[in-house]
Structure 1
Amino acid sequence: MAETPAPVTPGKVIAVHVAYESRAAQRGRRPSQPSYFLKTTSSVTGSRSGVVRPEGTELLAFEGEIALVIGTPARRVSVDQAWSHVSHVTGSNDLGIYAYRAPDKGSNLRSKGRDGYTPIGPELIDARAVEPEQLRIRTWVNGSLVQEDTTGPDRLIFPLAQFVADLSQHMTLETGDVILTGTPAGSSVIAPGDVVEVEGDAPAAKGAPSSGRLVTTVVEGPGDFDPDMGTLPHVDDAQREDAWGSRQAAGLAEDPNALPEILRAQLMAAPTAGISAQLRKRGLNQVVIEGVHPALPGTKMVGVAKTLRFLPGREDLFTTHGGGYNAQKRAFEAVRPGEVLVIEARNEPGSGTLGDILALRAHHNGAAGVVTDGGVRDSAAVTEIGLPVFSRTSHPAVLGRNHVPWESDIAIGCGNTTVIPGDVIVGDDDDGVVVIPRALAQEVAEEALTKDHEDSWVFDRVAEGHPVDNLFPPAGQWKQKFQEWLAQNPVPEPSAQGTQGAQGTQSEGQD
C-alpha cells in the first residue's frame, strides 16, 4: 500500500519527556513536573512510510505515543479549559537514534529531528467524542504487542490537559500544533526490516474510535557523516542500556558499581548518624563530608560516587583548562543514573562550583545528587530543579575566581574526607553526608537499620518517663523486654520501589 500522508501539518511539534508511571518505573526516575523538547516539522510523516537508520549506527528506538492536535489557539489557559483547545487525538511514533543523544546535550535535535522520525496518524479521533482519561496506546513490532497503556489517572504521572495548560503559560499553542504525550514502558531498539505499528484508541468511548494502525518500516540508509562539518554518531553502554530498556535486554553485563535496589532502599531508610556510628564501630572515623548542607529541607540522597577535582585558581592554568569543554563540563555530562558527583573545592566558599545549567544536565542524566565543599551559583534555580545538592554555601561568583577545573574520576578530598570513585554516598538534612566504602555498604546498612529500630523502641520508653540507665542501650531486664518486643516487631524491610535517586530525579535525554 502507498504511504498515507500525515493527517495534520503542525507549525510546531512538542514532545513530553517522561509521562507514564510505567516508563518512570522502568527508568527508575519519576519527574515531579513535566518537561519537554521540540521536534522538527520536517520529521513529520504519515503511515506506511520508511524510517532510515543511518548506516554504521545501531540504536534506533521506537516510542508509541498519543498525539494531541491543537484546534484553537491556547495562551495562558487553565487546566480546566485546556482540553477544549484540543481538536483531535491520534497515534504517533516518537522515533529517535541514540547515537546522537549525547552530542545533542538534551536538545534531541539530531537524535529525534531527522526526516521521517515523527510518524503521525493515520486517522484523527475527535477529542470531543472522548474523555482524556479514556485513551489507550498500543505498539506492535513485527506483529507482537510490545507496548500497551492507558491515560487513566493511575497510569499517567500528569493528566493530558496539564501539558496544554503548562505549555500555554510560555507560548501560544496554535491551530494544528501537535503535542506528543510521552511513551509507556516497552520502548526498545528496532533494526532494518522491522515493522512498527502504533494505534491510539478509546475502547470505552461510544463507537470505540481509533486512529488505525500507524505503520513504519525501518530501512538502512546512508551514514557517511562528515567529521569536518559536525559531531559523528557515538554510543556507549549507558546509551545501549537506555535504548534497550535494561542492561539485560542490551546484552550487557551488570554494572559492578550499581547499587542493588534493596541496598539502595535500606540506605534511603537508614539515618546518616546511624551509618556513621556503624562505620565508627569498624574503626572508620574520617568518613563524614564536613560543613555541607542540603539546599532543600527533607533531602535524602543515596548514590555511588563520581568525583571531580578543582585546583586552586591560577590565571595561566585557567586559560588552558578553564574554557571550552573542560573537566567540570565533562564530569557533569558523564554522570550516570544513580551516581553522586562529589566535588573537591578545598572548602573554598568564595565562588560557585556549579550552577543551574550544570545541575539541570546532571538531573537530566539521572544523577542521584551533587556534593561540593565549595559554593553553588544560581542557588534558587538549582533548588527548583530538584536535584539533591549539598554544599557549603551559595555564592554568585563564577568558577574562575578561585578554581581551575582539573580532572575527574580520581581520589579526591571533599569536606576533610577522602572520596574514591565507587564509594557509596549517603546524605540527609539531619546530619549531612557520609562516605561508605563499597565493600561495607551492605552490612553497614543492615546494622544501621537494626540499631535505628532499637533506638525507636528506647525512645518510646524514655517518652513514657523511664530513666536511661540500663535502657540506653538496653541491658538486664530492659534488654530482655526489648528482645521480646523485637520477636513480635522485626526490623521492617524497606521497599525498593521509588528509591532510584531522590526528589523526582528524571532523565530527559530521550523519551
Structure 2
Amino acid sequence: MAATESGLDGYGRDVYASAKGDVDEATIERLRGVSVATAWSVLSKAGILHPCMAGVTPLSGPEGFPLVGRARTLRYLPLREDLLPLLRAAGHANPQRQLFELVGPGDIVVIDAMGQTEAGTLGDILATRLKARNVAGIVTDGCVRDAPFIKRMGIPVFTKSVHPGANTSALLPFEFDGPVQCGGVTVLPGDIILGDEDGVVVIPAHLAAKVADDGLEQERLEGFLRKQVENGESLRDAYPPGPRLREAYEAWCRENPHR
C-alpha cells in the first residue's frame, strides 16, 4: 500500500464517510469556553463513552490555554529497516512532510504513534514549521524531541512523553489525513480536538454543536453551584442542585443573561 493522502475515500472507509463533518468557526470559538471535563460529561451522556486520549497530557502552551481545533491526522507504523531507503528516496513526498506543508490556521496535528515512546514524532525544526503554518496545536500519543525548545514556542503541545531520538529510529511516517487512533481513541479528519490540563478529548464533528451548547450551559450552572458551596451550601443541597437551588439558578440566569 502506498503512502498517500487517504482522506476517507479508501477501501472500507466509505462506510464512515458520513461521520466526517465540517464544524463552523462560531462553534469552535464557543468550545473555547468548555472544559475537557465538561466536554467528557456531555459526550458520555450522548453515548460517546471513551473520548479521552489515555496518557496524553500537556507539554506546553500559553497559561490558561484551551486547545481547540480541527484534526489533521498523521499515522506512523513501527520501523521496518528495509523500508527506510524508500522513505528517504521519497524526499518531500514523505507523508509527514506533505501534511506539514498543507496544514493551516485552526488545524491540530494529531499524530498516531501507537503509544511508542522510543522515538520523537517530531522535533524543533518541524514544530517551528507547524507554528509558522499557524496550527492551533500538536497532539501525539508518542513523544516529541527537543522538548526544551518546544516548550518555549508558545503553542499547545500534548504528548505521552519525550525522547531524544529521531522518528525514524523507531517509526515510519505512513499516511496522512486518514482515520487514526491516538491514545486509544479513534480520530477522523475534521473531528474537533479539545485539550486542557485534564487531557484531550475527541469530539465527533456531528456532536460539536451539542457539546458547545450543553457544555456552556453546564459550565454556567457549575460556576453558580461552586459559588453556593463556597458560601456554605451542603453537597446534599447543591450537587446535584435540589429544587430550591435550581429555582435560584434560573432566577440568577434571568438577571444575568448570556452575552
Tell me the TM-score range normalised by the shorter chain: 0.7 to 0.9
Query: Secondary structure of 2:29's match?
Result: helix
> Which residue of structure 2 lines up, in the alignment, with residue 454 of structure 1?
221
Matches within 5 A, 1:113-192: none
Q: Which residue of 1 aligns with 2:173?
A: 405
- What secondary structure does 1:459 align onto? helix
Give the secondary structure class of the aligned counterpart of 1:279. helix
The answer to whether the Cα contact below 8 Å between 2:118 and 2:170 also exists between their aligned partners in 1 is yes
In the alignment, is the contact (CA less than 8 A) between 2:23 and 2:205 conserved in 1?
no
Q: Contact 1:321–1:406 at 8 Å: present in 2 too?
A: no
Structure exhibiting the larger radius of gyration computed from Cα positions: 1
The one-letter code of the counterpart of 2:39 is: I
Task: State percent identity of aligned pairs.
Answer: 37
Return the structure number with greater helix share. Answer: 2
Of 242, 255, 258 in structure 2, the residue corresponding to residue 475 of structure 1 is 242
Q: Which residue of 2 aligns with 1:311?
A: 77
Kept after mapping to 1: 8 A contact 2:57/2:199: yes
1:294 to 55, 58, 61: 58
CA distance in 1, matches of 2:252, 2:107: 38
Q: Once superposed, what is the RMSD of the aligned Cα atoms? A: 1.5
Cα distance in 1 between the residues matched to 2:133 and 2:237: 50
Give 1:320 deviation, angstroms.
1.5
Please, which runs of 5 or more residues in structure 1 have no aligned partner?
1-255, 494-511
The match for 1:438 is 205
> How many residues were matched structurally?
235
Number of the residue aligned with 1:148: none
Which structure has the higher relative contact order (CA within 8 Å, separation 6+)? 2
Aligned counterparts of 2:23 and 2:34: Cα–Cα separation in 1: 19
2:88 and 2:43 map into 1 onto residues whose CA distance is 38
* Aligned match of 2:100: 332
Instruction: Give how far 1:475 is off.
Output: 1.8
CA distance in 2, matches of 1:356, 1:259: 31
Do the aligned residues in 2 keep the contact of 1:359 with 1:387 (CA within 8 Å)?
no
Task: Give 1:271's match in structure 2, choosing from 27, 30, 35.
Answer: 35
Counterpart amino acid of residue 132 in structure 2: H
Q: How far apart are 1:258 and its partner, in Å?
A: 5.6
Structure 2: distance between partners of 1:283 and 1:322 = 44
Cα 1:476–1:278, aligned 2, differ >3 Å: closer, same or farther?
A: same
Distance 2:153 2:100 in 1: 15
Q: Is the 8 A contact 1:322 1:405 kept in 2?
A: no
Hey, what does 1:103 align to over in structure 2? none
Structure 2 unaligned residues grouped into runs of 5+: 1-20
For residues 189 and 88 of structure 2, what CA distance do their matches in structure 1 show?
A: 23
Picking from 46, 53, 58, the partner of 1:282 is 46
Counterpart of 1:466 (choices 222, 233, 237) is 233
